[in-house]
């Protein structure tokens, strides 16, 4: 999302910020190329765009520069000339700031550093702007390798060790993931154990999986990390809502509460076939709902989305929607066949340790068998690149 006018004004006024460059005009194209390359490399790790202002002097005063379409086109062309590799993600536009028009170039940090301009790795830290030294290049290469990790194993920018609930980790999660004999023998510190389980990065920063599993406030860092439950008194969303719940918190709390919600919403019919026997048949088998909902929590995308996992319970069906389409080899195979891949492998391992996943790849087959044994319709899948939806029809 592009920076707002207020955010740009604040950056322009901050003469000390190393996220800003000011130039009166496009006089030295190589210098501009170096600036854009340095912003793309984001050596300080701001995880925020760098901004080049054209039409502004070094002291922040307005320069008498004509901000026309030709200038904007020349600036935008830096992305596609082939001099900056890999090409940066840029936004170029004309903005009025302080009563004057300036050209603004926002450069997003690259997910594939180091970025080079004409073969040189350009960086900026504080007042220094120039070619990267060996240590700078090492840091950028390490960042690229960390970004190559699955999203749930990557550290979340801005989060720190205090954002993890260490008492929850030691009392609940650690004993579930590591055998007692191993815990007794290895003598590792809590910090080492967190890193070994990929709940923190090697330098101690919480990963997405760490925040989801034992975060004090997962939603602060992953806004879509909750489950929205709605019970509707009818067969469409225009019907009155009977119940609504937002399920959030650490993963173990979310999964436990989901089991409780599913259990209390199932209705059971009783058929007295004789004075001595009775047959109890639920409208939905609990195991089927559990498997589909847990799959939705485990396989959904938590990256670049504010959308929750959704459970909508109608009078005649239950719909579960998981943000993010099929991942990896599943995207090219028959969905629901038992073929599996892991968008969130660390999260999957945590759920297995907590006892919510018994065998990887078995969730949908177990759900289908439970439905068949109950005499219920088989699940209907809606699969596209943005989400996966599963509809389970009622037996009753």
pLDDT in tens, 259-299: 999 999 999 877 656 555 566 789 999 999 999 999 999 99
Q: Tell me the pLDDT tens digit for each residue of 99-154.
A: 999 999 999 998 888 999 988 899 988 767 888 888 888 888 877 777 778 899 99
pLDDT band at 327 (very low <50, low <70, confident <90, very high): confident
Residue 249, helix vs strand vs coil: coil
Q: Kindly report, residue by residue over 175-231, the tens digit of the pLDDT.
A: 998 888 777 776 788 999 999 899 999 889 999 999 999 999 999 999 999 999 999
The total of other beta-carbon atoms located within 10 Å of residue 107's CB is 28
Q: Which residues have a Cβ under 8 Å from the Cβ of 173 and sit 6 or more positions away?
A: 197, 213, 214, 252, 350, 353, 354
Classify 148 as helix, strand or coil. Answer: coil
Q: How far apart are CA 349 and CA 251, in angstroms?
A: 12
CATH number of 227-393: 3.30.565.60
Delimit the domains of the chain by residue range.
Answer: 5-148, 161-221, 227-393
Sign of CA dihedral 163, 168, 172, 174: positive
SS3 117: strand
Do 5-148 and 227-393 have matching folds?
no
Q: Does domain 5-148 have CATH number 3.30.950?
A: yes
Asked if omega into 291 is within 30° of 0 (cis), the reply is: no
pLDDT of residue 332: 58
What is the reported pLDDT for 143? Answer: 78
Nearest to 251 by CA among 328, 199, 323, 182: 199
Tell the residue number behind the tokens 């910090």, with chain if given. Answer: 191
């Amino acid at each position: 999302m592009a920076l707002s006018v207020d955010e740009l004004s604040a950056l322009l006024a901050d003469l000390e910020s190393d996220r800003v460059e000011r130039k009166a005009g496009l006089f030295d194209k190589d210098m501009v190329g170096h600036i854009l390359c340095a912003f793309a490399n984001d050596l300080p790790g701001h995880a925020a765009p760098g901004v080049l202002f054209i039409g502004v002097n070094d002291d922040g005063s307005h320069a008498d520069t004509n901000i026309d379409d030709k200038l904007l086109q020349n600036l935008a062309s830096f992305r596609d000339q082939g001099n900056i590799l890999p090409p940066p993600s840029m936004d170029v536009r004309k903005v009025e700031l302080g009563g004057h028009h300036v050209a603004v170039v926002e450069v997003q940090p690259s997910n594939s550093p180091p970025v080079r301009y004409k073969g040189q790795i350009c960086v900026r830290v504080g007042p220094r702007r120039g070619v990267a030294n060996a240590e700078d290049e090492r840091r950028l290469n390490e960042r690229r390798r960390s970004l190559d990790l699955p999203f749930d194993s990557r550290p979340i920018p801005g989060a720190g060790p205090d954002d993890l609930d260490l008492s929850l980790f030691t009392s609940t999660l650690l004993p579930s993931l590591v055998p007692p004999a191993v815990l007794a023998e290895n003598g590792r510190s809590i910090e080492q154990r967190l890193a070994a389980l990929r709940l923190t990065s090697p330098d101690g920063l919480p990963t997405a999986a760490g925040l989801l599993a034992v975060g004090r406030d997962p939603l602060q860092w992953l806004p879509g990390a909750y489950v929205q439950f709605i019970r509707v008194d009818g067969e469409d969303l225009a019907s009155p809502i009977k119940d609504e719940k937002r399920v959030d918190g650490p993963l173990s709390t979310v999964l436990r509460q989901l089991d409780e919600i599913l259990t209390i919403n199932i209705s059971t019919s009783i058929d007295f076939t004789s004075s001595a026997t009775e047959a109890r048949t639920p409208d939905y088998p609990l195991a089927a709902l559990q498997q589909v909902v847990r799959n939705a929590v485990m396989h959904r995308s938590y990256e670049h989305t504010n959308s929750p996992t959704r459970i909508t319970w109608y009078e005649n069906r239950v719909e579960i929607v998981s943000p993010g389409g099929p991942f990896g080899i599943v995207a090219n195979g028959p969905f629901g066949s038992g073929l599996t891949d892991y968008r969130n492998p660390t999260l999957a391992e945590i759920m297995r340790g907590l006892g919510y996943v018994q065998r990887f790849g078995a969730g949908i087959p177990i759900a289908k068998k439970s439905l068949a044994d109950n005499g219920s319709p088989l699940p209907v899948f809606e699969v596209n690149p943005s989400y996966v939806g599963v509809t389970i029809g009622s037996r009753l």
